Amino acid sequence: MSNLKVQGNASGAGTTTLQSANTSVSATLTLPDSTSADTLGYLNAPINEQSAAYTAVAADAGKVIFHPSTDANARTFTIPANSSVAYATGTVLTFINMTSQVVTISITSDTLYQAGTGSTGSRSLAQYGIATAVKMTSTTWLISGNGLT
């Protein structure tokens, strides 16, 4: 970020151009006006509610994959292999289970490490459990949370 400079007015509504000092690459940033409910920056984790077996997709990066209390069935939520969905390193996927049935968080051919123990493989998420997986390298993820075994 230290190589970016702001050209134009960065306060109030309108657009601002961000341009790299070392190249001719630039991007336009549209700022919300003061009467808008929009805000600049990432302020929430959108919910992707799933009541069936589910394999995460690229659009799930930064989202919560949510198993609602209205679905009283055990489910498996899968983190796909890097060869299938090449999430950027640092991608975060969060899982929440509100039902009394266990949610299994599995991974295909990549490696999922449990924080604290280093154990690998699928994890179980209990009722009211929350777990976050972070992509550390192209084929490794680290997962931690409450209600996670």
Asked if 51 and 31 sit in the same domain, the reply is no
Q: Answer whether residue 73 is part of any domain.
A: yes
Measured CA to CA, the distance from residue 103 to residue 124 in angstroms comes to: 6
Euclidean distance between CA atoms 8 and 27, whole angstroms: 13
Could you tell me the CATH number of the domain that includes residue 57? Answer: 2.60.120.640
28 and 60 housed in the same domain: no
CA 23 from centroid of its chain's CA atoms: 30
Pairing of strands 14-20, 4-7: antiparallel
Residues 136 and 132: their CA atoms lie apart, in Å, by 12
Query: Model pTM?
Result: 0.74
Q: Is residue 42 part of a domain?
A: no
118-124: which pairs have CB atoms within 8 A and are 24 or more residues apart? Answer: 123/148, 123/149, 124/148, 124/149
Contact call for residues 50 and 75 (beta carbons, < 8 A):
yes
Give the number of domains in the chain.
2
Give pLDDT, residue 44.
Answer: 84
Q: Do residues 61 and 9 share a domain?
A: no
Which amino acid, 16?
Answer: T
- Domain range for 83 is 47-148
**Contact present, 133 and 79 (Cβ < 8 Å):** yes
- Whether 133 is in a domain gets the answer yes
Tell me the pLDDT of the chain (149 aa) as tens digits.
445 454 544 455 555 555 666 666 666 666 556 555 555 556 788 999 999 999 999 999 999 999 999 999 999 999 999 999 999 999 999 999 999 999 999 999 999 999 999 999 999 999 999 999 999 999 999 999 999 99
